[in-house]
Every structure is written in structure tokens, then in C-alpha cells.
A and B are shown apart, each in its own frame.
Chain A
Amino acid sequence: MATIKELSRKPELLTGGHRLCAGCGASIAVRQVLLGANDQVIAGSATGCLEVSTTPYPFSAWKIPFIHNAFENSAATMSGVEAAYQSLVRRGKIEKKMKFVAFGGDGGTYDIGLQSLSGAMERGHDMVYVCYDNGAYMNTGIQRSGSTPFGAATTTSPAGKVRPGKPQQRKDLTQIMAAHDIPYVAQASISHWKDLVKKAEKAFSVDGPAFINVMAPCPRGWRTPNEMTIEISKIAVQTGFWPLYEVEDGEWKLNFKPKELKPITDFLKPQGRFRHLFKPGNEHLLETAQAEIDKNWSRLKKRCGVE
């Protein structure tokens, strides 16, 4: 992989002037993913923050061909673009080598777009799907999603007198995608740019579908200061909330192995959405959150052959 200095010579494919909030993790994720591409890229996005903020008419932040269709079908839409490419190349109408990437938030990926994503991956389109995961429907005002962590207060799982935030644990989408047995699946974080760009490069280079789940915090929804976006992503990795791993042709590999995980409270404490968990009497909720991390971490280590 190229060094950061070499990467800095690449053209900026997502320009400034988009309307994402200050400190948004989504555009950082997009920029790092696109740095992993070495051919012409065609991009698409599901409805969501990324899409509305990068394409408010008549402005587009995309310096590459871009398509937004609807919320739940970023994968299906891009599968159509890829199929058109295969057809037009076969018919001699296009020669240039192109790569295809569809973006979606966790709402458009874990929840409403899961069927479309699963179908596109199963069909084997030569495309990359990137979920920028910020753990809630941020675009519509921080509603809970299948990715929202246990205990998080969202506008549809508020912390009230009898319900302390989201009562369910989050869905492990990366493992669901790994179960599709596609050539490449990875989990990455914008805090670990080198790992992320390398994973994007692999995803673009494999012949067939690839999926990357990227931790991309939302300062508004997480109730964190704008400048903390990268730092909190790093803590997510260090606490085992967001392990970095990849599944390459069925081989599971843990990319970041701390000697000891930091306690999950390190991740929860700086975020306003978990504030209520630290009130006296809610200690058991923090224990539940920690137990879930421990269980998942030990399972993942086993799958990756790490002791």
C-alpha cells in the first residue's frame, strides 16, 4: 500500500463545500475509502446524511459519477450500474476500467437496505459496499437502528423512567456479510486510516463483491464534541466495541490485537447518549454492556484463531 505521502498526491474525489455537520465521520470514511481505489470509481449512496449533504441541488461534492436512488436500495442500484458496465464492455461500447462503490448508513444497510445488500452480494456483482456506521438514523434526527448500541438514548429509544435507552443489543452486520461467503469482508474505523485504506484497496481489487463496515461517529447523535470524532472511533476499537478484522476468502483475521481491552465505560462515558447509564442504580446496565463486549470479543478471537 502507498504511504500517506503518496496517497496525498491522489485527486480529492469528495470536495469540501458539502453540508455535513462539522466533525462528521461519514465524509472522513468516504475520503479514506476512495483513497483505496486505483481505477476510475463510480459511486452511489443510499438516502441519508451523506447523500443529502453532498448533493443539495445544484451542488455536488462528488468529482466522480454519482447516483442516489432511494433509501433501501443503494446496493441494488449499484448492482444495476455494474451490470450495465459488464454489458457495455462486452459490447465494445466502453473500454475504461471502472470500479463501483455503494455507500449507506447503518439505517440504509443494517435495516431497510439489508435485503437489497444481501441480494447484490449473493449475485456476485463486482462492487464494493461500504456501510458508514454511526449507530442510528442520524439524518432524520437520531432514531434507533439495528446498529444502535445497547443502552443508547435515541429519539425513538429515549432514556426514560422505566426504559433506560435501547433495550436490545446491536446486530452484528459484518458477520452477517461474512456469512455470505463473498471474497472480502472487513470491519474498519476512520481512526485507523492505514488499516481502512488498505482494506478499501483490497475490496476494490478483488474480483466480485466486497463489504466494509466503517465506524464513522456522529457528534450530534453521540453527543460528543466535534473534535472527538477520530478519538472516539479509536476508543471504540480499543475497548473491543468495534474490533478491526477482515475475512478474506473465508479466512478470518484480527487486525488489531491489544493485550487487554480497555473497559467499555471508556467508550460510553464521553458520549452524552449513554449519560443515564452512569446514574446510581444503573450499574447493572454497564455490566451488561461489558459482558456483551467480552462475549463477542472472545468469539471473534476464536474465529480468528487468536488466543
Chain B
Amino acid sequence: MAKTATKQKIVAMTGNAGCALAMKQINPDVVAAYPITPQTTIVEEFANYVANGVVDTEYINVESEHSAMSACIGASAAGARVMTSTSSQGLALMWEELSIASSLRLPIVMQTVNRALSGPINIHCDHSDSMGARDMGWIHLFAETAQEAYDNTIMAIKIAEHKDVRLPVMSMHDGFITSHAIDRFEVLDDADVKKFVGDYMPKHSLLYNPNEPVTFGPFAMPAFYYEQRKQLRVAIDGSKDIVMKVTDDFAKLSGRQYGLFEEYRLDDADVAIVVLGSTAGTTRYVIDAMRAQGVKVGMLKLRVFRPFPAEEIAQALSKLKAVGVMDRSDTVGTLGGPVYVETKAALYNSKQRPAMQGYVYGLGGRDTGPDQIETVIGDLVKVVKGEESPREAVTLLGVKE
């Protein structure tokens, strides 16, 4: 793969700077954004590109995240290629607009720098913000590293705007961990990105053909509403194939092949961890160490959370003996975190399925060290050996009891 890839530059920059760079290379028609920690440096960096004429994007300094998404919706319906970025409370304030963006089938791309939701107020990483928005009809991509955050941003444009998708995309990376740490990664040439994302021309818009006026956002009574929701379900389910098509096209350009998820040492594993975001890096390190001690452990790192690749996950995990699913957000009042609940559900109808345990970790930026991952693997090994029954209740790792 690397042989066919284009020439790239190796840079050392933060994940947020990488995302801003991707935005610069995409040079969207409109960006409407409101600053919030830890997303701030993306919109600041992009403002610099605007101020220096590096991009000619119309950059709207809105007065709130609600208006950010509202303006994005207006601009996207107008016919423009539109991007934004947010975190935590900002995403929560956009809530109402998220489902309007997807129901209008507007291909807005939003970098979401994951941060814990209040309260109490906290500025550090967990996934409660985007996980809270998981059912809003957006495609959700998760990045482990700055490289992936950069790459996903570029792919997100192509996925969102694809004629068979036309859905908004959220591209996530971990607040402060990925957003603010300087990482070494490869970046494409501006011209390659420009060519890859291509030109955007919507089928219908407010501005391109005003002589044949279209009405966006009508009032739908019960006779009409339900069919829209079905259409949305079909669109997001069907987007899985396009996500992979764009991902494969991107691999040809960059030499970096991604999937719906990454399987790490899963082939011959007895036990595995399912995780997403930056903790996958720590998990990989622990797996290597435990493999050296003879523990047959692997990892499934989820990249595409929406559409949830249930079938593929079931296939990848069904032959294992025990699986621990790690969520950096809790879904209080039910079985456990969303990744756990959905992974478990994905396997329910499999003839063969592993024992499964749910773990919540790292809420509000609590450090997640190798010891916590070792604990999970240790638990799973005990289940496999029959020393313990699979736990029904979710385990909160690293909390002070």
C-alpha cells in the first residue's frame, strides 16, 4: 500500500492543529463555530488561516453553539460545503439542531473534541458529549491519534457529501490527550487533499437554482413524518459501505488503511478488549506485555460508532471466550456504557458468543493507566478459567471507593 501512496510530509503538531490543518486543506465554503475548551485551538488556528488569507472560507463567529449549528444548517442548505467544531456543553447546546441537520440530510462535518458533560463542570476527556448525541442521525468516527483525527476529517467530507449518504459526520478525538499533545504524523499535500475531496454540488439547494424554489424544513404531520425517519435509518445503515469505500480510496492515496474497526492480535485471542479513542494506545501496549506472558489477548478498536457495525463486530468477537468492553462514558440507569450495551446486543443472536463484561473508565479526564487495562484482562481470564462468573453489573475502573 505504501508504495502507491503519494508523497507526504511528517509533522509534529497537536491533534487540534492537525484538524485545523485538514480544514485548511479542505478550505470549506463556510465555517461557523463557537470556541469551547478543548476544541478552542482548532477554531483559533483556523481563524489564523482566514486572517492571513490562506483560506477564503466565510468564517462566521457566531454567538453560541446553537447558532453555530443553525448557521451551518442554513449554509449547507444554501449549497455550501460547511464545517464546524465543538466539545461537551457546546455539543449539548447544539442538541436540537443535530437532528435537524441529519433530517434535512445536510453533509455538515463537525470535529468533536470529546470532553465530559457537566456537572460538575469539567474540561477533560470523556465521551459523554458525543455519546449523548449518538442517536441523532450523524455518522460518528473516532480517532485514537492525531494522525487518525487528521485523516478522519478529510474522509468525513467525502463520506458526508457522497450522493448515497448526504448525512452529517462527527469526527471525534480525545480532549487534551489527542487534542493538545504534540504527536508525530504524516500530512498530505494540499493539492492531494483538494483533489481527494473534490467539488461539492448538492442536488437541491437554496441558492443554486432559485428559479425552481425549494422549501427546506417543512411541517410534517403524522401522515408524513414516519417515512422521513425510515429514510434516515436506511441512509445511515447504508452509509457503512460508503464509509468503507471512501476509507479504501483514502488508503490508496495515503497508504493508511483503516476499517470500521481495527482488530489487534484478535485472530488467536481467547479474551479481548473493545475500546475506542486514545485508550486504544494504552491497551495495545498492555496487550503486547501480556502476550509476552502468554495471555492470549487482543483488542477491537472501534473507529465507526455510527453506523454501528453490529454484524462485523459480532463476527469478529463471536469466537472469543470473554470480552471486556470499555466505555469512557456511563449510561446511568441502565446496564452500562453505550459501547458495551450495543456490543452485547450485537452478539445476542450469534450461535456462539463470548462472556461479556462492561467497564466504565476515565470519566472527567481521570487517568487510565496500564494497570486498569491489566485489571480488565485479569478479570476476563478469571471468567475464562471459570474462577468467576461474568459480571452483570458494570465496573467503574479507577474510581475511589
Taking beta carbons and an 8 Å cutoff, which residues of A are in contact with B? 40, 42, 44, 51-52, 55-58, 60, 62-70, 72-73, 76-88, 90-91, 93-94, 96, 98, 115-116, 118-120, 122-123
Contact = CB atoms under 8 A, between A and B. Distances in A.
Interface in B200-248: 206-208, 210, 213-221, 224
Interface string B33-68: 000000000000000000000001110111110110
A69 B219 contact: no
B67 A94 contact: no
A73 B97 contact: yes
B58 A77 contact: no
B133 interface: no
Contacts of A60: 215, 218
Given A66-B213, A66-B216, A83-B75, A76 B80 contact: no
Nearest to B61: A123
Nearest to A63: B213
A14 to B, nearest CB: 12
Given A70-B70, A119-B64, A51 B206 contact: no
B80 A96 contact: no
A69 B30 contact: no
A22 B29 CA distance: 43
A55 B67 contact: no
Contacts of A93: 208
Contact of B63 (A67, A85, A118): A118
A123 B67 CA distance: 12
A127 to B, nearest CB: 10
Which of B32, B64, B79, B207 gathers the greatest number of chain A CB atoms within 10 Å?
B207
Contacts of A42: 78, 206-207, 210
A44 B32 CA distance: 18
Given A87-B30, A91-B29, 5 more contacts: A65-B213, A68-B219, A69-B73, A87-B29, A87-B56
A123 B208 CA distance: 24
A58 B67 CA distance: 28
Contacts of B123: none
A101 to B, nearest CB: 12
Given A55-B217, A62-B213, A79-B74, A94 B62 contact: no
A52 B82 CA distance: 27
Contact of B100 (A57, A69, A120): A69
Interface residues of B, number: 42
Nearest to B224: A57
Contact of B66 (A52, A56, A72, A83): A72
A98 B220 CA distance: 28
Given A55-B219, A70-B97, A70-B100, A80 B66 contact: no
A94 B80 CA distance: 11
A69 B77 CA distance: 10
Contacts of A86: 58
A69 B217 contact: yes
Given A76-B66, A77-B70, A77-B71, A66 B219 contact: no
A83 B100 CA distance: 19
A80 B218 contact: no
B207 A76 contact: no
A79 B79 CA distance: 14
B216 A84 contact: no
Contacts of A96: 210
A83 B218 contact: no
B216 A68 contact: yes
A81 B60 CA distance: 11
Contact of A91 (B56, B214, B217): B56
Contacts of A122: 63
A1 B80 CA distance: 35
A49 to B, nearest CB: 11
Given A40-B210, A65-B214, A67-B74, A80 B60 contact: yes
Nearest to A85: B207
B74 A76 contact: yes
Given A65-B206, A67-B77, A81-B206, A76 B70 contact: yes
A64 to B, nearest CB: 5
Contacts of A52: 219
B90 to A, nearest CB: 14
Given A69-B73, A87-B58, A115-B67, A80 B78 contact: yes
A60 B216 CA distance: 10
Contacts of B77: 67, 81
Contacts of B67: 73, 76, 79, 115-116, 119-120
B176 to A, nearest CB: 29
A88 B74 contact: no
A139 to B, nearest CB: 11
A81 B58 contact: no
A80 B71 contact: yes
A209 to B, nearest CB: 13
B96 interface: yes
Nearest to A90: B56
B30 A80 contact: yes
26 contacts: A40-B210, A52-B219, A56-B221, A57-B220, A62-B213, A63-B213, A65-B206, A65-B207, A66-B213, A67-B77, A68-B219, A76-B62, A76-B67, A79-B67, A80-B71, A80-B75, A80-B78, A83-B75, A84-B29, A84-B75, A84-B78, A84-B82, A90-B58, A91-B29, A91-B56, A119-B64
B70 A84 contact: no
Given A66-B216, A123-B60, A87 B80 contact: yes
Interface string B159-170: 000000000000
Nearest to A83: B58
B60 to A, nearest CB: 5
A80 B70 contact: yes
Nearest to A19: B219
Contacts of B208: 93-94
A157 to B, nearest CB: 26
B273 interface: no
A67 B217 contact: yes
Nearest to B204: A65
B217 A65 contact: no
A73 B66 contact: yes
B74 A84 contact: yes
Interface string B252-285: 0000000000000000000000000000000000
B188 interface: no
Contacts of B71: 76-77, 79-80, 83
